[in-house]
Amino acid sequence: MAEIDKPTREVDVPGDWTYASAPESRDIVHIRDRYGYYVGGEWLEPAETYETIAPRDEEPLAAVGQATAEDVGRAVAAARTAYADGWSSLPGSERAKYLFRIARILQERAREFAVLESLNGGKPIKESRDVDLPLAAAHFFYYAGWADKLEYAFPNRRPRPVGVAGQIIPWNFPLLMLAWKVAPALACGNTVVLKPAETTPLTALLFCDVLRQAELPDGVVNIVTGDGRTGAALVESEDVDKIAFTGSTEVGKAIQRQLAGTGKRLTLELGGKAANIVFDDAALDQAVEGIVNGIYFNQGHVCCAGSRLFVQESIYEPLVAKLERRLTTLRVGDPLDKNTDVGAINSAAQLEKIRELVASGEEEGATIYQPPCVLPEKGYWFAPTVFTNVAQSYRIAQEEIFGPVLSVLTFRTPEEAVEKANNTPYGLSAGVWTEKGSRILWMAQRLRAGVVWANTFNRFDPGSPFGGYKESGFGREGGRHGLEPYLEFEE
Ligand code: NDP
């Protein structure tokens, strides 16, 4: 047979695939030197301020008000006046128009908000641009749709608004958590006093500009900034009818104790220690992408992060090898660079907490792996980390680290996977990776978690309820369920 003449020409393949830097310009955002509180449609001058910084390099960004109990009282009074003066009795179709407007303006100004979110919070611009902003706008669109259909959402129950809602949000998804809280509250006819987290107030303050652009009546949304003392003052305020809190389990418990017996409504969305469970029939490369997304998305500052990876014993070695290889391709660095996968840790305090828990993992006997990466000298940084040889009793397998740190454990049977996954005080989310639909359903019925993702992780949609079991809190946000905490029913 004639030999086929194969060309032997060498192809010139580049050896170095390093990305060139692609920084997003920050010129699109104007940050003021100083911010007050947004109360009754006006900016109130604060008596005391603190500095908010950029975690990527500790650059001071602005002076922000530290609201006192008196300031909080003014905000609550403004919300009460707006509630009584017409917002609560406005037809739902009219309230919907404001929500639609807010959603549209957020879309129009998405880039500005995304840059500010990454600057003040440290998350990669591709996440704030492609996840936080589209989802925040989607929440306002979604709840705009419900505003005039509450009677249909809850037939024969005659829904009416609760009153003034005090809302306290964390620093991991500042604008998105604002949207999760403000959109359903307004759709149901409530007015709001919102306190953003101390370290990430800037997108909430820029949002006040959106409220003005949308011509939302004065006092319907009020924003007070400050540290935990401001949050505590809001919880204590007598004229608040409902508190919605997202944050740590510790503070959530304190709030619940404080509100017990007051008759005030409460929803808590607290911590998590989610299990991401991979069976031996799963598509491994896809699972690795899901694991990476589950724990390194937003530097692991995610309450539903897949921080405990359970791998079926027969695929443990190939899976860990693939995972470690994938980690070497993650780009850690400037949050404003469009190529960055893992940005800056949100604050010095959070970095300290991550370091302390990682040290405990090493001391207790787990094996640590971190890919080679050069971390910037200034700012708050932590390399993506995987722990193997982890026992369930180790602190890194029990406590919420809220950082880019994964603990890998193993299981043999589905029963064992369920038992180990549920061995936690939390119950916010879980992930299952398998090709068998029946197994997914079997697992989902047994996992004590508010959300179970199948062959994916960290998927969000405004139409889908989100919330916890056990120490992850109670109440649901998103979907039709997310309306209920903001409504009273005459039954
Ligand atoms: P916190 O629970 O302290 O913060 C959440 C929000 O509550 C912030 O706005 C905070 O204000 C406010 N707050 C603090 N103390 C009080 C109080 N006594 N009464 C009312 N409101 C209060 O979380 P941290 O920021 O301190 O983070 C600590 C840990 O909590 C993290 O390491 C992580 O494990 C977990 N966490 C979980 C989150 C989740 O989404 N489930 C989100 C954030 C953190 P301020 O920011 O000014 O302190």
Token pair 């922000």 is found at 64
Between CA 276 and CA 179 the distance in angstroms is 27
Q: What is the pLDDT of residue 331?
A: 95
Of ligand 1's listed atoms, the one at least distance from the Cα of 226 is 47
Classify 468 as helix, strand or coil: coil
* Contact 271 CB / ligand 1 (< 6 Å): yes
Return the best residue to mutate from 171, 203, 229, 248 for the ligand 1 pocket (most ligand atoms within 8 A of CB): 248
Ligand 1 nearest atom to the CA of residue 171, by list position: 43
Residue 237 Cβ contacting ligand 1 at under 6 Å? no
For position 261, what pLDDT does the model report?
92
Q: Identify the residue whose C-alpha is closest to ligand 1 atom 48.
A: 228
User: Residue 33 C-alpha to ligand 1 middle, in angstroms?
Assistant: 25
Check residue 201 and give its pLDDT. 98
Q: Is the distance from the beta carbon of residue 256 to the nearest atom of ligand 1 less than 6 Å? A: no
Q: What is the pLDDT of residue 7?
A: 62
- For ligand 1, atom 14: residue with the closest CA: 228
Report the distance separating Cα 418 and Cα 157, nearest Å. Answer: 38
CA of 251 to the centre of ligand 1 (A): 7
Fold of 34-270+470-488: Aldehyde Dehydrogenase; Chain A, domain 1 (3.40.605)
pLDDT-flagged residues of the chain (< 50): none
| CB distance 246 to ligand 1 below 6 Å | yes
Instruction: Verify whether ligand 1 is closer than 6 Å to residue 198 (CB atom).
Output: yes
Beta bridge partners of 164: 191
Place of tokens 């992408």: 289
Token digits for 330? 């993650």
313-341 pLDDT, tens digit each? 999 999 999 999 999 999 999 999 999 99
The CA 250 to ligand 1 mean position distance, Å, reads: 8
Backbone angles phi, psi at 165, to 5 degrees: -105, 130
Instruction: Tell me which residue of 245, 72, 244, 259 sits closest to 163, measured CA to CA.
Output: 244
Q: Please answer whether residues 383 and 332 qualify as being in contact, where contact means their C-beta atoms are separated by less than 8 angstroms.
A: yes
- Which candidate, 349, 360, 180, places its Cα nearest to that of 267? 180
* Active-site annotation holder among 303, 471, 477, 484: 303
What is the residue extent of each domain of the chain? Answer: 34-270+470-488, 275-454
Asked if residue 64 lies in contact with residue 199, where contact means CB atoms within 8 angstroms, the answer is no
Atom 35, ligand 1: which residue's CA is nearest? Answer: 248
Could you confirm whether 269 is annotated as catalytic?
Answer: yes
Q: What are 406's strand-pairing partners? A: 386
Tell me if 167 CB under 6 Å of ligand 1. Answer: no
d(CA 371, CA 307): 18
Instruction: State how far the Cα of 41 lies from the Cα of 211, in Å rounded to an integer.
Output: 9
Ligand 1 in contact with 63 (CB < 6 A)? no
Q: Give CA–CA dist 424/450, Å, rounded.
A: 14
- pLDDT, tens only, 71-80: 999 999 999 9
How many Å apart are CA 84 and CA 177, to the nearest integer?
A: 26
Q: What is the pLDDT, as a whole number, of residue 18?
A: 80
Amino acid at 103: A
Residue in the block written with tokens 């404080």: 258
Dihedral of the CA atoms 134, 428, 278, 132 (nearest 10)?
Answer: 10
- Measure the CA–CA gap between 145 and 430, rounded to whole angstroms: 29
Using only C-alpha atoms, the chain has a radius of gyration, in whole angstroms, of 24
Q: Examine the residue annotation and report whether 303 is marked as an active-site residue of this protein.
A: yes
Residue 14, classified by CB atoms within 10 Å of its CB into exposed (0-12), middle (13-18) or buried (19+), is exposed
The CB of 462 under 6 Å from ligand 1? The reply is: no
CATH of domain 275-454: 3.40.309.10
What 3-state DSSP class applies to 44?
A: strand
Choosing from 24, 269, 400, 484, which is the catalytic residue? 269
- pLDDT tens digit string along 418-436? 999 999 999 999 999 999 9
CA-to-CA dists, residue 345 to 121, 205, 300, angstroms = 8, 22, 9
What does the CA dihedral 471, 475, 477, 483 come to, rounded to 10 degrees?
-170
Residue 254 CA, ligand 1 centroid: distance in Å = 11
Task: Report the 3 state secondary structure along 364-378.
Answer: HCCEEECCCCCCCCC
* C-alpha dist (Å) from residue 489 to 76, 188, 434, 482: 23, 12, 42, 15
Ligand 1 contact, 249 CB (< 6 A): no
Backbone angles phi, psi at 276, to 5 degrees: -110, 115
Distance CA 344, CA 456 (A): 25
Determine the pLDDT at residue 3.
Answer: 65
316 CA to centre of ligand 1 in angstroms: 35
Compute the distance from residue 339 Cα to the ligand 1 centre, in Å: 30
Q: Is the CB of 185 under 6 A from ligand 1?
A: no
